[in-house]
Amino acid sequence: MSGPPNMSAIVNTEHTGIDETGFEKLNVKKPSVNKTMTAEPQPSITTDVLIIGAGLAGLSTALALPKSLSITILSKAALETCSSHYAQGGIAASLDKDDSIADHVADTLIAGAGLCATDNTTTILSAGQQAVQWLCAQGVPFTQVSHINDTQQNNIQNNVQNNILNGKTVKAATDAVAGLKTANLHLTKEGGHGCRRVAHADDATGRHIMQTLSAQAQAATNITILPYHEALTLLTETSNKSLNGTSLTVQAAASNPHQHCQGAIVFDHNTQRQLTFYSRAVVLASGGLGQLFQRATAPNVCVGDGVMMAWQAGCRLANLEFIQFHPTGVALGTSNFLVSEALRGEGGHLYCPQTGKRFMLDLDPRAELAPRDIVARAIAEQINNNGLGFVHLDVSHLPADFLQQHFPQIYQTLLDLGIDITTDPIPVAPTAHYSCGGVVTCANGLTDVQGLYAAGEVAYTGLHGANRLASNSLLECVVVGRNIAAHLPRYLEAMSKSSKNTKPSTKSASSTSTFTSNLASNIWTPLQIADTQTIALPSFGSIAEHEEAFNINGNIHVDNNDDIDGITAKLKSLMSSHMGIMRSAEQLEQALVQIHQWQHECQCFSLEGSTKFNSLSHFQLTRQLQLATLIIQSAYQRCESRGGHSRKDYPLLASQPLISIIEPFLANKTDSIDNAMDGWHQPRVNNISSEPLLAVAAV
């Protein structure tokens, strides 16, 4: 199957110099504001592998796949607009001679608070050394051990950047770190780790990794990267295409367990057109959902749309209630800058601004290096008591030259904000950071839908349990991405053999079903999960009485004049106040009622024909409201406090740790999105319910 033309190009991208961190800017031509979609025919594009997401998981998969495959990578915005790019701390792996995989697994299981999938955790962490070595081979300029001085280290990093910026080959850039081995890497320590095991590139590890891998992908002749291309829905085997391309029906996989994924419908923000991508396999690497919250470290593209696409295509979701809040986001105005856990790993202390007391000493024997959920809750309690909105993180007792050399980005960024970390404390507060749940996925990236893989924050492999151990996420991206690249050719070969062995006259639904059943039993085995609780998505008959039962805060309530941006902003506020670090049944019920009101309002505006509610923005908001409902419903049904999920009304652990499972979306149980989006005039896709999913009683 041939790929799109200009395979090595980044579409509509200009090089515009160096940004404030020393990396090349990629200034993608931005789309116009009008995003109302029309009924014109959809151009179609074919490719062997479609990767949705251009972060570390997506690029690792693409670069590890055979070069004989045509690969198309979709980026929702500019290439650097992804969480991987902003990762500071590093990548965790058992690299030190005094460390072991067993110790890394043990620390991960402790942080995960009883909900890690032990087999998957062991499989992923066992591949840590190979994953880091692979990154070294790609040319990532990791900080090295002390026998290489800081000047030499800076020269290595500058050589990599300059070779790429000056148009030299990727090989020339890679040669700058030729021979770099994992044994040479400087390791730091972060919360929850029993020893130093985090490899890093200064305090901007994600930027260095992404800049290096992006250059590799751009140089690959079989890879196309398409910025500002937003996937809307996944296509499956049961798609029915009209001759003119303007009608498409996609059944939910739950109604046909033997279908497989064949591409996606995509919106091109550059041309304001909808495109259809057909592929032999799809890799979902779309990132997390942090932007459902008011304060988040994730870029604005991270709204959980990948989770929803997979669910609507027939995948299970797991543990959506476990949202990790990073303890130390900078608490200055609207800043979403994160202060790396590595500062605490190197000796940083947390103080109450009023008393000057190190409060973590009284709460956990690991003090500031306790797992993130413990530290975040402790800071939240301090903030609730002091009324200041922050606590102090202080590293001024550490040598100034050490801080400037090891944390150059943090030092300069905070200096620009008026804080000199060598002399001043840093005001910090918890901020939404990572989704520990997601699309149910095995360690090889297989989901419940054949031909659909998932990796990165969008996926639930069971590695993170109820609370992610620091710096395990970058490792998961690389390991699972490379595992997908090893498995995917086998899947394509099986599909190809079936196509050749099935004569055209015999290609019936039954023969396809037989093949896919055999395929599932032979090479496609989704993750099997024991000890689960199914999240109930109840009927909506008693919504009125629940709307009357709660007095919603006036700052959250929305009247009929609010536009989409207004509802989106208030949704963030609602999620932060009612689905934050501490939750209760009353808060969650209030949130569900409020979201239902917004869903009803959006539907009413759509039926009235308001153009701003017949747009892509309306589609996005509808999806976000529904995802927020799934998250809140999961939290409502988990009547315990565990890891990143804390209930005021259920402060203790349940006797048995259970995985929350949301069964695949059932198209025949809900209304079509057509009702909510009259006037959009687009093909019918995996339907999004226009009705809310409301908890009406504790389960």
In DSSP terms, which residues pair with 15 in a beta bridge? 26
| Residue among 61, 55, 50, 52 nearest 79 (CA) | 55
Name residue 345's amino acid.
G
CA distance readout (Å), 385 to 331, 378, 390, 557: 16, 11, 10, 27
Residue 352 corresponds to which tokens in the numbers above? 């109450």
The angle formed by the CA atoms of residues 71, 74 and 80, to the nearest 5 degrees, is: 115
- What is the pairing mode between strands 659-662 and 532-534? parallel
Q: Count CA atoms within 13 Å of residue 312 on its CB side.
A: 26
Tell me if residue 628 falls in helix, strand or coil. Answer: helix
Query: Are the CB atoms for 678 and 619 separated by under 8 Å?
Result: no
As annotated, the active-site residues are: 372
Element spanning 13, H or E? strand 13-18
DSSP string over 571-587: HHHHHHHHSSSEE-HHH
CA distance readout (Å), 232 to 31, 248, 254, 368, 623: 17, 13, 19, 42, 10
CA 634 to chain centre: 18
Query: Are the CB atoms for 227 and 13 separated by under 8 Å?
Result: yes
**Dihedral, CA of residue 349, residue 352, residue 357 and residue 363, to nearest 10:** -70
| Residue among 401, 584, 407, 137 nearest 393 (CA) | 407
C-beta atoms surrounding 242 within 10 Å:
11
C-beta atoms surrounding 698 within 10 Å:
11
Q: How far is it, in rounded angstroms, from Cα 451 to Cα 131? A: 24
Q: How far is it, in rounded angstroms, from Cα 574 to Cα 579? A: 7
Q: How far is it, in rounded angstroms, from Cα 386 to Cα 380? A: 10
In DSSP terms, which residues pair with 460 in a beta bridge? 440
Query: Are the CB atoms for 283 and 51 separated by under 8 Å?
Result: yes
- What is the pairing mode between strands 44-52 and 438-440? unpaired
Residue 69 corresponds to which tokens in the numbers above? 């495959």
Residue 454 corresponds to which tokens in the numbers above? 């998932």
User: Any idea which residue has 């202080």 for tokens?
Assistant: 394
Instruction: At 75, give phi and psi (nearest 5°).
Output: -115, 125
Q: How far is it, in rounded angstroms, from Cα 141 to Cα 200? A: 9
Element spanning 593, H or E? helix 585-608
Q: How far is it, in rounded angstroms, from Cα 82 to Cα 406? A: 24
SS3 track for 308-334: HHHHHHCCCEECCCCEEEEEEEECCCC
Q: Where are the alpha helices (DSSP H) in 320-416?
A: 342-345, 372-386, 400-406, 408-416
Q: How far is it, in rounded angstroms, from Cα 203 to Cα 438? A: 28
Q: How far is it, in rounded angstroms, from Cα 548 to Cα 550? A: 6
Beta strands in 83-228 (DSSP E): 91-92, 187-188, 198-199, 223-226
Tell me if residue 435 falls in helix, strand or coil. Answer: strand
Q: How far is it, in rounded angstroms, from Cα 34 to Cα 51? A: 26
